[in-house]
Structure 1
Amino acid sequence: MMQTSFLVFAATLNLAAASAVEPIPVLPWLPENGLTKRQDDYDSTCSVFGIDFQGGGSYFINSNSNDNFTLVSEFEGCMNDTAFIVLVNEQTSDEYECSRLPTVPDDTPQMSTCPILKSQLSSGTWSILTLGNNGDGAPFSYQRDFTLQVGPQQTATTTVYAPYTLMLQATSTVEATSTLLTTSKIPSNSTVSSAATGVATYTPPAVTMSTSEMVTRTFYRWTKTAYTAYMLIVVPTCTVPTRPAYGDPWLRFKPTMLPLPDGVQLQQTLGSQDVDGRPCKGRYCKRSRNSELDEQSTPARLQGHTLQNRDADAPTVTSTTTLPNDLTVTVMTDPTTVTNTELTTDTVYTTLPPQTVYATASSTVTAPAPTSTYADQLYTRAYLTKTMCIVWTDTVTTTPSATATSWSEIRKRFDDDCYIIYYRHIHPLRRYNGPFIASITNFWKLWAVAADRMPNEIERLHAKYGPVVRIGPNDLSFNTPEAVTAIYKSGWPKGPFYKGFVDSGQGALAVGMFTEMDEERHAQRRRIFARGFAMPYIRDMESIIDSRYAILRRQLDNFARSGEVFDLRRYITYCTVDILGELAFGEALGNQRDCDPAKIPPVSEVLWAAILFGQVPWAAIQIKTLLAKLPSANARALLDGRDRMIEMAVRNVTARLRKPDTDRNDMLGMIMSVTEEKTGKPLEMPHIVSEAFSLLVGGTHTTGNTLHALFANLSRNPECLRRFVTELDERLPPLKPDQAAYHIAGLEEKLDFVNACIRENYRKDPVATFNMPRVPPKGAVVDGDYVPGGTQCSVNIHALHHNPTLWGNDYDVYNPDRWYGKQPPHVDFLNMFNAGKRSCVGQNLARTNVLKIATTLLGACEFDFLNTEEPMVMVSHGDSDLRTPIMVKCKLRGEPFAG
């Protein structure tokens, strides 16, 4: 007999409210992989292991609970004695003596209850101190540190449908005693068996850790036919993966309510030595054997002794499974057959496999489907295997025969859906729209970067969903000026995305000002570098900058004489790279000399790799490993580009350090001259290299591509180009034969339409188009939307500059005149270099180069743009690049350059 049905899983998931509980970082000093039981063969006298709260972990506590805080430990290799337990609040140094624990038998969970309610706990770092005499043997003292996240729970319900087909075959006899409470009421017009009501009660065995969750099941009886049905009851659960017990490190905190055993020393680090002078192997270290613990040191111990033990708190997931009335399922194991001829008096008990129930057919009773209820145990951290045998009581005689049917696929689908259920229906960001895949994984962002579509995709999503879009499980993108103010001017720290700029290559690179995650250290570093990026210092470096413009002028003079067609992009790039090389490394990189595109530093590849890995910083190592194995030159270049630039930075900085007496006024000299605020010492070599490297990466590609887009936009708008040149002629004197470029002093103030053209270029085609996330430590309001603490928030500059609400429906049109009129766009609408204290530190240098090159080239030369009919193709993995060449012929507007 074949029957097709649908299982309906109504899963009720109880999870901590992310909006109410802020994430607390795991303590950094603990080893990454910890030390598990019996991993070390070193002869330890007495060892203690955390079960529910382990060193370095972060755990949820329900603030609505009025139960006492409890903890579970195991002992190994100890004498028969009692251990003292002290709970310490690291924020307040408050101590609570908890109920004492026996140290034997080995590997047995022991629960201690503390004199503080869970509702009285606070989020932060806590410690559990375990001390004892070890039967007058070797006294021990251990400490485990962990963090608590205290807040109320939230509940949400979702339904998953899983179709399946099952086979029902021959009948069998099952006589069993159930763990369930079952009551069947027979209608008056029915045939009544000898027992109108059959009741059997099951009490699960006591366990140390449990949750009090109720699972309701419905069992059915079938009228006897040629077949019988075996119902398989499966408990679909979402649980934390089982982890081994972790050994506690030595005691570091000296308790005030308990004296330390004699000879026990507080440990300052984990890499210490034992009392015999031998290195400790892991966390197993011998203690001295000379003292006892004073049993009468404080009356508080008596209080701890009398406290009632309670279950340990744990953030669990409860699942309720409801089966339809017409369900028939065959068992996964061979059926058990028991035959009994005295149906009215004898009972035969059959114990079935764990979590398996046999529902049998009845030949004498017709009754409604009874409701069976039992308490199921769901372990979130289970270290002992407990077997629960569920049996059913009935007496029937038939002939056995059955076929097993697999439930593995149904179970797997439910388990896999738990992750999706949480992020789609429970996570605090569930109410925000965005791509489905982005709500459950960061790989949507990874795809957008790899496909060179990041800013365009985010612009499309904002056009579809509005000012707030969910672009990752914990990421929100905004496109309003109000969001810029809230996110970037509130002092929020940077998100983990920036780790990609540190981990995107094989070589080491010290954390610099741009990648510094700590706000205080960033502020210190920015203060000591402020002088070097201020306009007075840039004006002092203008002679170095103009020396590279002079080479560009001579190159253009040569093209004017020869009438040769050339790509203007390349020569602008050669110039900007050599300018930054001069300033960051103390000498030009030779690009203007060689005019070879292959020798341009791979800045684009470096940025691409950093932005790519920043989308999934936790998977950077795996991605690098994968790319290294791909038979692709592009993949190899992606990894090698950053390392080649680091080598170049190290080489040039080392050469400069060998000439400490030079009076050259450049950025590298400024970086080498500054001293740390706290120590007064100069920067170390790795930090000098990191800052010089960041200056080259951040200043070359962005400045060059901004100028590429500007000339491309002007060439496709002849009237704008004409007005640009006319304003130069009217407001600036002609360049002198020995003048490489216009001087920056007063240049911006003398020009109007030129500034509008540059500003409109920044708006229409911004270069830095990757999302720069900030993370509010606590909940915050961004443009009227409440954002839970720990959420990554960002404003994509491209999406902001292409918001039709701000710029009108012609937002994708290059129109400098939009900056004129009675109500020009507010300056806050334009976000060229980001905002707040983390704004681009080199923006003065970038604005200087853009303005000087644009005015100098169009003031000295008249360009014939040859490919203006081609569309402007801008691609971006987060750093925009004009792929369309700017093919030109030029002629001089005045005398040739003679400098």
Structure 2
Amino acid sequence: MAFSISVLAGLYGLGDLFKVALLFAIASALIYSVGWLIYARTLHPYADIPGPFWASVSRLWIAYMVERGDVDKILVAVHKKYGRMVRIAPDEVSIGDPEAIKIIYSVSSGFTKTDFYDPFATHMSPHPDLFSARDEKEHAERRRLVNNAYSMSSILESETYIDECSQLFIQRMGEYADSGQSFDFGMWLQMYAFDVVGTLFFGKMFGFMETRSDYGAYITSLDTYLPVLATNFVLPDYLRPVRPFLANLGLKRIRDAILSIVAIRQAASDVVTTRTKELKEGKVGRTDILQKLFNVQEGKGSDGHFLLADIEQESYVAIFAGSDTTAIAMRSILYHLMKNPKYYKKLQEEIDDASARGELSTPTVRFSEASKLPYLIACCKEGMRMHPSVGFTLPRTVPAGGKEISGRYFPAGSKVGIYSGVIHLDRSIFGDDANVFNPDRWIEGDVANMDRYMFQFGGGSRSCVGRHISIAEIYKMFPQLLRDYRLDLANPDKEWGTRSTWFNRQIGLDVKLTRR
């Protein structure tokens, strides 16, 4: 090779040799591109599945939609245009058939998470976190260790700590009601959700509501960094190391966000160190989730299967998974109620009647009481149906032997996924008015059937482990809030904004409160 290059250099000169090499590289790239286009469009196993042209030839199409922040709307639109199967990347299909949920996500389906989840891995413990773990057997073993800590009965043993957060939230709302000023209600719901995570996993509220501010810049940091991470989720493997580097280059806000994320990790480590010391000194009297995780470590995990590092990891992941998703659900429920006064009035009447009968405790409503309010539950389900917290598919890899989904065979190794926002608008399940907010469907319709296709917490063995925390927060908060205050949109004719990367966040939920 060295001889050939020296001969060519002698014949053509170095300048000419560079031109030849450049032309050869360009020609090779063109030939490869044309070959790839032909393969992707005609010979690929997904070539027969419809979808946007650019999606069929490059993952950059879906990455751009995620980066742009409207991937949730795009997924709904492409399914409306192309049908129940849509090719959203050369090697990935989004499926909008409700019956496919049990095929892909059931406990014994054999489908596994794709490499989409790898960038989310915390690497804080030798064991994988529950969200990013891809080995189903390992995930099942890890989940069995902590399931009891996240059960509804376990959460309700910590109800008093949630009540402390609720009381402070209601107090802060009173300050806004007395001032008569409109304010960013969506931000306060997130601060509330963050402080609940703090009191359950870190031994005390972080300080968002106490200081009336973004404690530690956690919210700003997550809002800045998660979109970068989300785009990495959907990029090809060979581009993933490049994307964060380009994002960080010269952008101080992202560098600051990363430093804050590091601070959150350190806070998770510190709380475990502190609790360990308190336990040794006999100073712990809390029955929070942090303590339940310590109990796991001392019991089932004492053989090395559940380490102190695993407790740190659980607390850290709770911040990511438990604050945004709950706040998004609460925003959606309240926004849609404020946009639809007749449903707001029906819920208000149910709460007032229960309160008048002495069925709602003061100053804080018990979960056992709230869960007996049928219209409250209907409104909560409908709000989560209309705006799922996760604004993207939950991609899975087809198991060995392949699988038939919705009448089509998918070979082993294929990537498929379902976006809850598409399923939740399916008229065959939720009725002809599936695209509008109507809590009455949960009173008058086939509730059992609709429940089977609600996908806001995922499904099967991979359903959200913290879903009971979210449900407890929401059910308890709303009767208390609506009993004490009247909520009105500051700009009732203005639609909210949304930004969907991974979490489907809302922007601009400005509200005015009035004491009742």
TM-score, shorter chain, exceeding 0.5: yes
CA distance in 2, matches of 1:752, 1:422: 54
SS at match of 1:888: strand
Task: Verify the 8 A CA contact 2:96 2:418 in the aligned structure 1.
Answer: yes
Structure 1 residues 592 and 415: CA distance shift in structure 2, 3 A: closer
Q: Which residue of 2 aligns with 1:476?
A: 93
Q: Which residue of 2 aligns with 1:488?
A: 105
Structure 1 residues 514 and 787: CA distance shift in structure 2, 3 A: same
Compute the displacement of 1:475 (Å).
0.8
Compute the displacement of 1:495 (Å).
0.8
Compute the displacement of 1:822 (Å).
5.6
For residues 477-525 of structure 1, the C-alpha deviation after alignment (integer angstroms, 9 at most, x for no partner) is 111211111110114211111102027xxx8676211111111111111
Q: Which residue of 2 aligns with 1:627?
A: 247
- Higher-RCO chain (CA-CA 8 Å, sequence separation at least 6): 2
1:170-319 matches, cutoff 5 A: none
Structure 2 regions of 5+ residues with no counterpart? 1-10, 12-22
Task: Verify the 8 A CA contact 1:864 1:889 in the aligned structure 2.
Answer: yes
Q: Which residue of 2 aligns with 1:773?
A: 395
Task: Verify the 8 A CA contact 1:627 1:636 in the aligned structure 2.
Answer: no
Point out the structure with the larger helix share: 2
Compute the displacement of 1:792 (Å).
1.3
2:67 corresponds to 1:450: yes
Task: Verify the 8 A CA contact 1:586 1:668 in the aligned structure 2.
Answer: yes
CA distance in 1, matches of 2:168, 2:409: 54
SS at match of 2:486: strand
SS at match of 2:112: coil
1:483-882 matches, cutoff 5 A: 483-489=100-106, 490-502=109-121, 511-597=128-214, 599-601=216-218, 602-616=221-235, 618=237, 619-629=239-249, 631-637=250-256, 639-660=258-279, 661=282, 662-675=284-297, 680-681=303-304, 683-733=306-356, 739-748=362-371, 750-778=372-400, 779-808=402-431, 810-821=433-444, 823=446, 826-882=450-506
Q: Which residue of 2 aligns with 1:173?
A: none
Q: Which residue of 2 aligns with 1:425?
A: 42
Task: Verify the 8 A CA contact 2:50 2:82 in the aligned structure 1.
Answer: yes
For residues 72-105 of structure 1, the C-alpha deviation after alignment (integer angstroms, 9 at most, x for no partner) is xxxxxxxxxxxxxxxxxxxxxxxxxxxxxxxxxx
1:107-122 matches, cutoff 5 A: none
Q: Which residue of 2 aligns with 1:171?
A: none
CA distance in 2, matches of 1:652, 1:720: 43
CA distance in 2, matches of 1:732, 1:880: 34
Structure 1 regions of 5+ residues with no counterpart? 1-333, 335-405, 894-899
Compute the displacement of 1:463 (Å).
0.8
Q: Which amino acid aligns with 2:188?
A: Y
SS at match of 1:431: coil
SS at match of 1:425: helix
Q: Which amino acid aligns with 1:723?
A: K
For residues 677-710 of structure 1, the C-alpha deviation after alignment (integer angstroms, 9 at most, x for no partner) is 5872363333222111111211111111211121
Task: Verify the 8 A CA contact 1:605 1:638 in the aligned structure 2.
Answer: yes
1:248-397 matches, cutoff 5 A: none
Task: Verify the 8 A CA contact 1:444 1:472 in the aligned structure 2.
Answer: yes
CA distance in 2, matches of 1:408, 1:682: 52
CA distance in 1, matches of 2:300, 2:138: 10
Task: Verify the 8 A CA contact 1:500 1:614 in the aligned structure 2.
Answer: yes
Task: Verify the 8 A CA contact 2:65 2:71 in the aligned structure 1.
Answer: yes
Task: Verify the 8 A CA contact 1:605 1:637 in the aligned structure 2.
Answer: no
Q: Which amino acid aligns with 2:78?
A: L
Q: Which amino acid aligns with 1:879?
A: F
Compute the displacement of 1:733 (Å).
4.5
CA distance in 1, matches of 2:358, 2:227: 39
Structure 1 residues 677 and 774: CA distance shift in structure 2, 3 A: farther
Q: Which residue of 2 aligns with 1:183?
A: none
CA distance in 2, matches of 1:525, 1:843: 17
CA distance in 2, matches of 1:409, 1:567: 53
> How well do the aligned residues superpose, as a CA RMSD in angstroms?
2.6
Compute the displacement of 1:591 (Å).
0.5
TM-score normalised by L of structure 1: 0.51
For residues 390-436 of structure 1, the C-alpha deviation after alignment (integer angstroms, 9 at most, x for no partner) is xxxxxxxxxxxxxxxx9986665333322222222222111111122
CA distance in 2, matches of 1:527, 1:807: 34
**Percent identity at matched positions?**
24
| More moved, 797-806 vs 844-853 | 797-806
Bigger radius of gyration, 1 or 2?
1
CA distance in 1, matches of 2:222, 2:359: 35
Task: Verify the 8 A CA contact 1:768 1:880 in the aligned structure 2.
Answer: yes
Q: Which residue of 2 aligns with 1:266?
A: none
Task: Verify the 8 A CA contact 1:500 1:612 in the aligned structure 2.
Answer: no
Q: Which residue of 2 aligns with 1:460?
A: 77
Q: Which residue of 2 aligns with 1:102?
A: none
Task: Report how many aligned residue pairs link the two structures.
Answer: 483
CA distance in 2, matches of 1:624, 1:845: 32
SS at match of 1:745: helix
Task: Verify the 8 A CA contact 2:197 2:319 in the aligned structure 1.
Answer: yes
Structure 1 residues 453 and 408: CA distance shift in structure 2, 3 A: closer
Structure 1 residues 455 and 656: CA distance shift in structure 2, 3 A: same
Compute the displacement of 1:464 (Å).
1.0
TM-score normalised by L of structure 2: 0.87
SS at match of 1:816: coil
Q: Which residue of 2 aligns with 1:195?
A: none
Compute the displacement of 1:460 (Å).
1.0
| More moved, 855-864 vs 705-714 | 855-864
| More moved, 564-573 vs 686-695 | 564-573
CA distance in 1, matches of 2:206, 2:71: 31
Q: Which amino acid aligns with 2:58?
A: T
CA distance in 2, matches of 1:663, 1:580: 18
SS at match of 1:802: coil
| More moved, 676-685 vs 879-888 | 676-685
Structure 1 residues 870 and 597: CA distance shift in structure 2, 3 A: farther
Compute the displacement of 1:473 (Å).
1.7
CA distance in 2, matches of 1:408, 1:699: 49
CA distance in 2, matches of 1:641, 1:438: 35
For residues 537-563 of structure 1, the C-alpha deviation after alignment (integer angstroms, 9 at most, x for no partner) is 111100111011111122233334443
Point out the structure with the larger strand share: 1
Structure 1 residues 828 and 637: CA distance shift in structure 2, 3 A: farther
SS at match of 1:643: helix
Task: Verify the 8 A CA contact 1:605 1:641 in the aligned structure 2.
Answer: no
Compute the displacement of 1:634 (Å).
4.4
For residues 328-354 of structure 1, the C-alpha deviation after alignment (integer angstroms, 9 at most, x for no partner) is xxxxxx9xxxxxxxxxxxxxxxxxxxx
Compute the displacement of 1:808 (Å).
5.0
Structure 1 residues 509 and 465: CA distance shift in structure 2, 3 A: farther
For residues 844-891 of structure 1, the C-alpha deviation after alignment (integer angstroms, 9 at most, x for no partner) is 111111111111100122234332111122221121111122321321
